[in-house]
Amino acid sequence: MTAHAFAPLPDLANTLLPHALEPVDDGAHDLSHLQRVWANVRRIAREDGGDLQVLLAATLLHDCVAVEKSSPLRTQASRLSAEKASALLHQLGWPEAKIAAVAHAIEAHSFSAAIQADTLEAKILQDADRLDALGALGVARTFYVGGRLNRAFYDPHDPHAEHRGYDDLNFTLDHFHTKLLHLAEGFQTLTGARLAQVRHARLKRFMDEFIDEIGG
């Protein structure tokens, strides 16, 4: 049943899903995340085009190597996933050009890796993945990760960081300023950029209301 969430290529999904996720406890990067990213990919590709086979493989394998957000190897996570995906697709007999396309899309999707997306498929995956970091889902995932890493909601002494630098390693609210509020500026496709503005507004509205509730 799960593979049907990855229509119109359920057979490819069945082949790749056993390799898509490592056995780690991370609800921000789980099967539901892959399903949401694929839904975003399909929505963008309907208007912007793209090779669905490459896009599905890149979607399912973009987090196939799990690296914790707090790990010093975090910036290498997408490269490690791209290498693992390439080896798998070689074993499955994929042509070199398609393997390279999948690997580039995976490597370029990561915000922390800061790699330029040079193909349409890479731009679509990057946008689709970043949409899941915006809006209500972005809020939920951010506080979920903060909880897993034992981060406080905010600095009770200086919640607005007026007398300190932003510190999202210790305060989840600071992550809105260091990353989330800047995501919508960097979308690569017209469709992705349009969807990002809607989710950015939701993210900003939550943050404004959150700040109001903790005392302005």
Instruction: Compute CA distances 209 → 111, 131, 153, 160, whole Å.
Output: 26, 21, 14, 14
Q: Is the pTM of this model over 0.75?
A: yes
Closest CA to 172 of 23, 62, 28, 67: 28
Q: Assess whether 4 and 94 both reside in one domain.
A: yes
CATH number of the structural domain spanning residue 95: 1.10.3210.50
Task: Give every CB contact of residue 4 below 8 A, 6+ residues apart in sequence.
Answer: 10
Q: Same domain, yes or no, for 70 and 161?
A: no
Residue 113 CB partners (closer than 8 Å, separation 6+): 75, 76, 77, 78, 79, 107
Q: What is the pLDDT of residue 132?
A: 94
Does residue 25 surpass a pLDDT of 80? no
Question: Do 55 and 102 reside in the same domain of the chain?
Answer: yes
Q: What is the pLDDT of residue 27?
A: 65
pLDDT for position 30: 82
Q: Which residue has the higher pLDDT, 115 or 216?
A: 115
Looking at the structure of the chain, the number of domains it has is 2
Structural domain of residue 33, as residue ranges? Answer: 1-114
Domain assignment present for residue 123? The answer is no
Claim to verify: residue 5 and residue 103 sit in the same structural domain: yes
